[in-house]
Amino acid sequence: MEVAVIGGDGRIEALARLLDRDGHDVRCYGLERGDLALPRAGSLGEALEGARAVILPLPMGGGEELNAPLAASPIPARALAEAISPDALVLAGKPEGVFAKAAEARGLRVADYFAREELTVKNAAVTAEGALEILMRELPVTLLGAKVLVVGFGRIGKFLALRLHLLGARVTVSARKPEDWAWIQSLGLEPADTGCLAGAVRGFDAVVNTVPAPVLDREILRELDKSCFVLDLASRPGGVDLAAAEELGLRAQWALGLPGKAAPETAGAAIRDTIYHMWKELECSQWKG
């Protein structure tokens, strides 16, 4: 299939390479400063010419210009929307703002691959491994034998807690629902109540938050051992009071956007798989391509 890939970071670059490897006719634009070996389109128009699918960055960016850190020159969002053929399917990560409005005005079909649960799951797995890397780098002890508290038992919490456990850490996972406690225990982990962390956070070598709400506030942070490392993996607004952590002399770090940083190729492959699912489903329904 003819696919235009426009802008984006290392994940989109990896995605372009994988689509090419799978036999698609890939035209790239806005990845000039990466090390992609694919033939590149000389202009936006050339890239879009005849493309049945147009893949935009993650996040695509809601402003005047596309999120395109590897592009030789800025890519105007409005002009892009106006250059895409109404026959093409646009696949964007979190489409919004300038592009989204312009695309809607023109009646373009825009699908959000970032909204797909399977991509969220795979990104959570990459994030969990990225978190392991940070913990290994920051802790003066091995994860083997370390006492680690994971706050939250969503996707990232699940993957991270399991991996920590398999590496030999003594893992406590806090959650709010009895059914989550049942899962935690049934995976061989120690459960705790996120609502009752006060008085229960001593002795940990590391605390990892995954909940995007103010869970690790000053009061809880004050109870941590001074040598405890605090890692926040929650998306904005995060869940750790970083200012309080600094005042208390705790080492703390907020890691955002780990999939793109820790493993861009795996993150790109996850986008590829997601896009394939979307194509397959669209074929069966409204999209006659």
Tell me which residues touch a copy of itself (CB under 8 A).
Answer: 10, 14, 116-122, 124-126, 129-130, 132-133, 136-137, 139-145, 159, 162-163, 166-168, 178-179, 181-183, 185-188, 262-266, 269-270, 273-274, 277
Residue pair 49/25 in contact (Cβ under 8 Å)? The answer is: no
Residue (79 or 141) nearer to a copy of itself, CB: 141
Residue (61 or 260) nearer to a copy of itself, CB: 260
Taking the complex as a whole, how short is the minimal distance between the CB of residue 122 and a copy of itself, in angstroms? Answer: 5
Taking the complex as a whole, how short is the minimal distance between the CB of residue 62 and a copy of itself, in angstroms? Answer: 26
Taking the complex as a whole, how short is the minimal distance between the CB of residue 231 and a copy of itself, in angstroms? Answer: 15
Residue (77 or 197) nearer to a copy of itself, CB: 197
Residue (243 or 256) nearer to a copy of itself, CB: 256
Residue (98 or 275) nearer to a copy of itself, CB: 275
Residue (24 or 163) nearer to a copy of itself, CB: 163
Q: What are phi and psi of 26, to 5 degrees?
A: -100, 130
The residues, ordered by sequence, that sit 6+ positions from 181 with a Cβ below 8 Å of its Cβ are 175, 191, 193
- Bridge partners (DSSP) listed for residue 112: 92
Question: How far is it, in rounded angstroms, from Cα 236 to Cα 182?
Answer: 28
Residue pair 225/200 in contact (Cβ under 8 Å)? The answer is: no
Residue (11 or 27) nearer to a copy of itself, CB: 11
Taking the complex as a whole, how short is the minimal distance between the CB of residue 145 and a copy of itself, in angstroms? Answer: 7
Taking the complex as a whole, how short is the minimal distance between the CB of residue 90 and a copy of itself, in angstroms? Answer: 20
Taking the complex as a whole, how short is the minimal distance between the CB of residue 3 and a copy of itself, in angstroms? Answer: 20
Taking the complex as a whole, how short is the minimal distance between the CB of residue 204 and a copy of itself, in angstroms? Answer: 14
What one-letter code names the amino acid at 68? Answer: A
Q: How far is CA 184 from the centre of its chain?
A: 24
Instruction: Read off the tokens for 159.
Output: 């993957």
